[in-house]
Chains A and B, each alone.
Chain A
Amino acid sequence: MNPKNLRGWPLTFLLAGLTGLSVAPFYWLLVSVTRKDTEIFDWPPHLLPGGGLGDNLHRLDQRIGLLRVLGNSLLVAGVQTLGALVVALLAGYAFAKFRFRGRTLLFALLLSTLVVPEQVVLVPLFRMMTDFGLLDSYRAIILPGLCVPFAVFLMRQSLSSLPDELLDAARVDGAGEFRVLWNVVVPVMRPVLAALSIFLFLGSWNQFVWPLIALRSPDMHTLPVALATLYGNQSTTDYGAILSGTALSTLPMMVLFLVLQRQFISGLLAGATKG
């Protein structure tokens, strides 16, 4: 082996160690959810799975109504992602490809809210939803997440680099604006849309503060809210159930991530690319 290869090994070991630290909690989680409630905190910790998974899931279901909560989470995240995607696509298209009065001002206004912390809107939103009678409903969670200024920004940036000739060619052929959008813009933008939808879905799936405030009845809870409530309720320290809930909220994203690595990384890094 030549010396150049040998020099890389210490660095490789260091990286392996750091990667190990990143992944170890997941491994612990996966082992723990398969263990009986009484074994989870055995000393030393178990390294291999046991046979308690079914029982843990069953108890979790009894405590939070698993299917209902999973359904809530999926519904909210799905509708929100799709809605925010359409809103951002349309707005981004308008900002990128049309000149109109107020364009610069509106875009600046939209972007200026990026620096406002999310917490600022919590109280007014709560009051608004109370007045509308929408507290404890899906709409209360979904509606405020439809306009994501960052997504509009990203769509505008990506669409700006789309050549006008492409659009004009379709228009000359007699296509209406919405047809141009659907038949020309959307296919070309597919990678960006895929990355953006992952970004939106992940954010929506994991959102916590606002659902915690707006959702009251356990029937409406999304997975993070149900999980935090179950965990926070100190009278029931059912570790097996709590951890299986944790695994269920994490695992789908993990699988999706392993399958769609490239889109995930570009989706989550979208903000880091220079705009």
Chain B
Amino acid sequence: MTATTAVTAPAVSGAAGPARPAGPAARAHRRARLRRTALPYLLLAPALITFGVFKAYPIVDSLLLSFTTGSGPAARPAGLANYRRLLDDPLFWTALRNTGEILVVQVPLMLGLALLLAVGINSTLVRWRAVWRLGVFMPAVTGLVATGVMFAFLLKRDDGAVNWLLHAVGLPSVDWLGQPFWARMSVVLVLTWHYTGYNAVIYLAGLQSVPKELYEAAMVDGAGAVRRFTAITVPALRPVLLFTVVLSTIGTLQLFDEPYVLTGGGPDNASLTVSMYLYQNGFRYFDFGYASAIAYALTLLVAVLGAVQMRLMGEKDG
């Protein structure tokens, strides 16, 4: 594109009246205007094309697929059959229950710990705060597959380092990956290890925007540490808390990588998640219609839970 685009159009646009003056100057001017109108679409083109082909179309296609059965050329309309099958599929409910249990234990545990960390690191009484901030954030940089592999080894029953630590403090070994309940808790443990520092740093950023004067005023009024926390810190952090709750919930509902590597969904489907079940149906049994129905059930779940949380936590903002 040449440098003479004359994009100062707003300054002279008044001149281009309905009469459409003739002459080379006016023609150049019209061309410049056309170029100016086309420009934003030109800038958007790469985004819109890739978005349309690789996001929007698949999202629609998936919805259509969920109403079909059979794959490839043999696909035929099936109405709501996939969704009906979903409701009667005990394995789907198992996956949903597992995901729910992991969610209910993991999100509060992690966010509570993160808040504790953030308040601690934010306290001026504490030494070497930058070091703690750096250290707790580090797991967030690790890939989920690497994390899963690492913990699969750390959590081995007979010779894993975690059980060795338990022994060292006089506790019995845990069959982390072999017992149904503990398999789910292993996933919780890994998620918590991976994301707590990340959330703590988010909270920390929020805490640092709370005016110091508020705390000083509260102290003058004789408010204790707990009172200051509940009356100043928590309300100030509410938007950030909402953000992390919604984000963690959505993330956990879509849980795949960690259980895939760590437990493979086992033992006996005890840590099978909805996403893993989707993957199995889509890419092990190539039942695209059913996998798509699971995907949309998941979408519905994400949307509903997200909306409920925003409603519950965000209402006082209005």
Q: Could you tell me which A residues sit within 8 Å of B by CB distance?
A: 4-5, 7-9, 11-12, 14-16, 18-23, 25-26, 28-29, 32, 40-45, 86-88, 90-91, 93-95, 98, 100, 103, 106, 109-110, 113, 115-128, 143-144, 146-147, 149, 152, 168, 171-172, 174-179, 202, 205-206, 208-209, 213, 224, 227-228, 231-232, 239, 242-243, 245-246, 249-250, 253-254, 257-258, 261, 264-265, 268-269, 271-274
Contact of B264 among A93, A94, A232, A245 (CB under 8 A): A232
Interface of chain B residues 263 through 318 with chain A (CB within 8 A): 264, 275, 278-279, 282-283, 288, 291-292, 295-296, 298-299, 302-303, 306
What separation, in Å, do the CA atoms of A187 and B141 have in the docked complex? 27
Q: Do B283 and A126 touch (CB < 8 A)?
A: yes
Interface residues as binary, B162-200 with A (CB distance below 8 Å gives 1, 0 otherwise) = 001000100000000000000000000000010011100
Return chain B residues, CB-CB under 8 Å to A232: 261, 264
B164 touches A113 (CB 8 A): no
Given A90-B44, A98-B40, answer yes or no on A11-B120 (Cβ-Cβ < 8 Å): yes
Which residue of A22, A91, A239 contacts B44 across the interface (Cβ within 8 Å)?
Answer: A91
Tell me how far the C-beta of B91 lies from the nearest C-beta in chain A, rounded to whole angstroms. 17
The listed residue (A22, A44, A168) touching B135 by CB distance below 8 A is: A22
Q: Is A227 a contact of B54 with CB atoms below 8 Å?
A: no
Complex Cα gap A86–B44 (Å):
11
Within 8 A of A (CB), among B41-74: 41, 43-44, 46-48, 50-51, 53-59, 61-62, 65
A174: chain B residues within 8 A (beta carbon): 3-4
The A interface, classified by DSSP as helix, strand, loop or mixed, is: helix
Q: In the bound complex, do residue B144 and residue A208 qualify as a contact, i.e. CB atoms below 8 Å apart? A: yes
Among all A-B residue pairs, the 4 with the closest Cβ atoms: A8-B125, A206-B143, A124-B58, A91-B47
- Kindly supply a per-residue 1/0 record for chain B positions 1-32, scoring 1 wherever the CB is within 8 Å of any chain A CB and 0 otherwise: 11111011000000000000000000000000
Task: List the B residue with the shortest CB-CB distance to A8.
Answer: B125
Q: Is the Cβ of A171 less than 8 Å from the Cβ of B141?
A: no
Whether the pair B149, A146 counts as a contact (CB closer than 8 A) is no
Contact of A22 with B59 in the complex, beta carbons under 8 Å: no
A109/B50 contact (C-beta < 8 A), A14-B120, A265-B201 known: no
Knowing A25-B154, A109-B56, say if A205 contacts B143 (CB, 8 Å).
yes
Would A123 and B65 count as touching, CB distance under 8 A?
yes
Known contacts A120-B59, A224-B146, A261-B134; A4 and B161 CB within 8 A of each other? no
Which A residue sits closest to B50, measured CB to CB? Answer: A147
Q: Which residue of A lies closest to B190 (CB)?
A: A25
Residues of B within 8 A of A125 (CB): 54, 58
Which of B125, B160, B295 sits near A120, CB closer than 8 Å? Answer: B295
Interface-centre pick from B121, B134, B143, B197 (highest chain A CB count, 10 A): B143
- B7: chain A residues within 8 A (beta carbon): 171, 176-177
Which A residues are CB-close (under 8 A) to B144?
206, 208, 224
* Chain B residue at smallest Cβ distance from A125: B58
* 18 sampled A-B residue pairs with Cβ under 8 A: A22-B136, A25-B139, A42-B159, A109-B56, A117-B253, A119-B295, A120-B296, A124-B62, A124-B65, A143-B54, A146-B50, A206-B143, A231-B261, A245-B149, A253-B142, A254-B142, A265-B137, A272-B244
B-side contacts of A152, CB under 8 Å: 47
Chain A nearest CB: distance from B201 CB in Å? 6
Whether B153 pairs with A239 at a CB distance below 8 angstroms is: yes
Q: How far is the CA of A143 from the CA of B57 in the complex (A)?
A: 14
User: Is there a chain A Cβ closer than 8 Å to B127's Cβ?
Assistant: yes
Nearest chain B CB to A43 CB, angstrom units: 6
Residues A249 and B295 in contact in the complex (CB < 8 Å), given A12-B127, A93-B43, A272-B202: no
A8 touches B126 (CB 8 A): yes
Could you say which residues of chain A place their CB within 8 Å of the CB of B86? none
| Bound form: Cα–Cα A147–B156 in Å | 40
